[in-house]
Structure 1
């Protein structure tokens, strides 16, 4: 039995709908890189824990819009091609890099990684993501978090649209996985006072906020307001050891550099080397050096968790809780060594006397404190809404608000039968309202792509809305079918429920 306290790892898996919307440098390439380097290894790690009979190892959030892509026949075919291309690029690198021993070995390692990914994909992932994840949930190895359909920033949604997006997302997850999530990772940890009532109505029993929303007191879960809905806060003191706005393990000079490419082969040959060194001056990646550094960072993290839990016990007179929460894509995609670090930490913490469990397990262990009234908050810059509701994106916010008004006017009174035109119209509106577009503009990360995506989906919505009259019925059905071929993440989405 553990005696230091409880640790929960929470991973949030999300990418916006990228299928059929560009490939390189922005678009589907993001999906396939994250799939190969994060989703395959993280699910493989979970499966190995399941094979050992481990339960409640960590909490995995998967957004409905990501799950839809990982199950989509078009994406499955394209990803298989991408894996084959990775294998060919590694083979080409072995020729180009043969004069440098470290790089020659790296090319061979890349080829082995591509081979293993292809074997994993062809044996376990041929029918998509859901058949891989479902047995891990059935076995109780993981706890699943869901969320609203297309990852909208919920505080900026009309209450009817907000409720519909959440219900559609939870329905989608239940359909794919046979498990309706009890908890959600609210997109961007966006919260507005009163949202817990909507969660309760949708059957959501727990959600994440960032640590400052609880004024840093994250040592227990709390019921929110007058509800029975529970919030967990990210412990930033611990979480930021790994990944913070300014620092963290992945920036160490020994790790593989995410930003430096050999564009002849589309592979990353360098280690970080130093923060202010230009790509041409970076040293070649040395896996032995990275492995040594990884061991020290595993020990540092375990020591940090134990120290934090001891200080909480001293302060409160009872075992405390640490919740460390990250984007899944950090592990493998952004931080090459991340999956190995993750496995080592999850194995080392129990040896250090720490209970490792899920959010569900933390509640079962009694980590529930007094009720709390939460402020408006997010996990973005400033911990407020500025990333999604600031000056730089004022036009997107105004456009989104106007779109919601047009959406609610267009769906009208529900008919007796489902209407594929209205279903697609609602789908395009939800895609336009994804929180990713404002984030990318505010952070100046492929901002032009983000603006164009919001505009494209809004224009598609308006095209369908203009055809809603009976005179244009045949044309409307044809346009909806054409758009659904590109944008069809949720086959069960029913506009009548809005």
Structure 2
């Protein structure tokens, strides 16, 4: 049986309370319904195999008072009503309507999603998914690290040093700060610098490269989800339902899930022995409807083991900043296509440090530092929403420094490590 490791990185930007349709907290409700709840069923059947991270900012939202009640109302009221409008023209949507009903039942049964994830979560991440090499100061990195780690320990218990670098963004000058925070192992994408084996930094952190060819079997634009049998997640009915397969035929779930199981068998046969493969959790179920079926079949066919710190060769000294973004560098978040958000984030960070910012201003800074705003602007996936969010957090940050306004971030970073944001 082939041995490999699967890392699932579970993340959602802070959308709870910030808009509804077409952008905002319904992103979170959809991810809960189509990815998190089905995935939890698989993890419960196959415990201890997948290396799972949940970002602190996602956990903040899952823990927020009233959030899951609004999600349940979305599943029980909004989705049935919207399906009813499209069903006369697309009878194949009976399957989709039933899936949302099952998700609502599962959410009511589980109740507390933090508790449901608790047995499976091993890794944490930065507080709000900042691209750490683009931060301006050690204090800014410490704020992201210490807040995220404190969040994990409070919610999920013991932490053994597994850490997801947001966007796999790594630079050698982070290593001492990672070790200082207690990080022992993380993943990097070194496919463009020609390094395929784990290395150990001088600070003692194990850097585990992803197997890019294996990842691309799934994640490349020509990967498995592009097959004609799968549900087309881009072509939508007037009320935003997925009624067709990729080949244009009415969606047939039996055909789609059979293809997922067949692709899992091909995947396990083709992937390299010992490969470490990482994916956004939301790919499975939300962006690739049959992906959860694929994942479970992989867990059945392969010897899937957790990613852990290990003895390894010393890390090379000349590795440049890397990520799993475009070009395997930082351009997705810092090039002109991101419209200067990286500079706005750095400017606010320096301003906060110079102004001895308090908790409210630091929370706005954390929200501004999310990698998601630059990514969404660069790929044009969410209209003006990310621009509005970034600008709104920058303005609220300035108001907080002046002592004006109110705290709109109702539940972000309750474990704020304010002490970390000080000059050495």
Give the TM-score range, shorter chain. over 0.9
Structure 1 ranges of 4+ moved more than 6 A: none
Aligned to 1:122: 108
Gaps of 5+ in 2: none
Root mean square deviation of aligned Cα: 1.9
Are the counterparts in 2 of residues 211 and 217 from structure 1 also a CA contact under 8 Å? yes
The 5-angstrom pairing of residues 70-469 of structure 1 reads: 70-85=62-77, 88-89=80-81, 92=84, 95-97=87-89, 103-104=90-91, 106-124=92-110, 126=111, 128-134=112-118, 136=119, 142=120, 144-157=122-135, 158-212=137-191, 215-218=194-197, 221-224=198-201, 226-244=202-220, 246-264=221-239, 266-273=240-247, 282-305=248-271, 308-309=272-273, 321-349=274-302, 355-360=303-308, 363=309, 368-373=311-316, 374-393=319-338, 395-411=340-356, 422-467=358-403
Cα deviations by residue, 1:23-71 (Å, 9 ceiling, x for unpaired): 1111112111111100111111111224xxxxx3110111100111111
In 1, distance between residues paired with 2:124 and 2:100? 30
Are the counterparts in 1 of residues 339 and 377 from structure 2 also a CA contact under 8 Å? no
In 2, distance between residues paired with 1:448 and 1:95? 31
Query: Closer, same or farther in 2 for the Cα pair 1:38/1:398, shift >3 Å?
Result: same
Tell me which of 461, 479, 483 is aligned to 2:407. 483
> Tell me, what secondary structure is at the counterpart of 2:407?
helix
Gaps of 5+ in 1: 51-55, 98-102, 137-141, 274-281, 310-320, 350-354, 413-421, 468-475
Cα deviations by residue, 1:315-354 (Å, 9 ceiling, x for unpaired): xxxxxx20111000000000010001100111012xxxxx
Aligned to 2:61: 69
What is the TM-score when the length of structure 2 is the normalising length?
A: 0.93
Aligned to 1:416: none
Cα deviations by residue, 1:226-283 (Å, 9 ceiling, x for unpaired): 1211011110111111112x3211111110000111124x32100011xxxxxxxx22
Aligned to 1:10: 7
In 1, distance between residues paired with 2:13 and 2:392? 14
In 2, distance between residues paired with 1:42 and 1:293? 19
Aligned to 1:24: 21
Matched pairs, number = 418
Are the counterparts in 2 of residues 428 and 487 from structure 1 also a CA contact under 8 Å? no
Q: Give the C-alpha shift of residue 296 in structure 1.
A: 2.4
Query: Closer, same or farther in 2 for the Cα pair 1:250/1:108, shift >3 Å?
Result: same
Cα deviations by residue, 1:106-130 (Å, 9 ceiling, x for unpaired): 3332233222212211121x2x321
In 1, distance between residues paired with 2:58 and 2:380? 22
> Tell me, what secondary structure is at the counterpart of 2:354?
helix
In 2, distance between residues paired with 1:87 and 1:18? 19
> Tell me, what secondary structure is at the counterpart of 1:152?
coil
Q: Give the C-alpha shift of residue 410 in structure 1.
A: 2.0
In 1, distance between residues paired with 2:371 and 2:60? 17
Are the counterparts in 1 of residues 121 and 156 from structure 2 also a CA contact under 8 Å? no
In 1, distance between residues paired with 2:338 and 2:251? 39
Q: Would you say 1:33 and 2:30 are equivalent positions? A: yes
In 2, distance between residues paired with 1:447 and 1:187? 23
What is the TM-score when the length of structure 1 is the normalising length?
A: 0.80
In 1, distance between residues paired with 2:161 and 2:251? 43
Are the counterparts in 2 of residues 143 and 358 from structure 1 also a CA contact under 8 Å? no
Q: Give the C-alpha shift of residue 216 in structure 1.
A: 4.3
In 2, distance between residues paired with 1:393 and 1:429? 18
Are the counterparts in 2 of residues 143 and 359 from structure 1 also a CA contact under 8 Å? no
In 1, distance between residues paired with 2:184 and 2:192? 18
Query: Closer, same or farther in 2 for the Cα pair 1:436/1:87, shift >3 Å?
Result: closer
Are the counterparts in 1 of residues 10 and 55 from structure 2 also a CA contact under 8 Å? yes
In 2, distance between residues paired with 1:455 and 1:348? 47
In 1, distance between residues paired with 2:61 and 2:228? 34
The structure with the greater share of residues assigned to helix is 1
Bigger radius of gyration among the two = 1
Are the counterparts in 1 of residues 18 and 25 from structure 2 also a CA contact under 8 Å? yes
> Tell me, what secondary structure is at the counterpart of 1:212?
coil
In 1, distance between residues paired with 2:81 and 2:268? 37
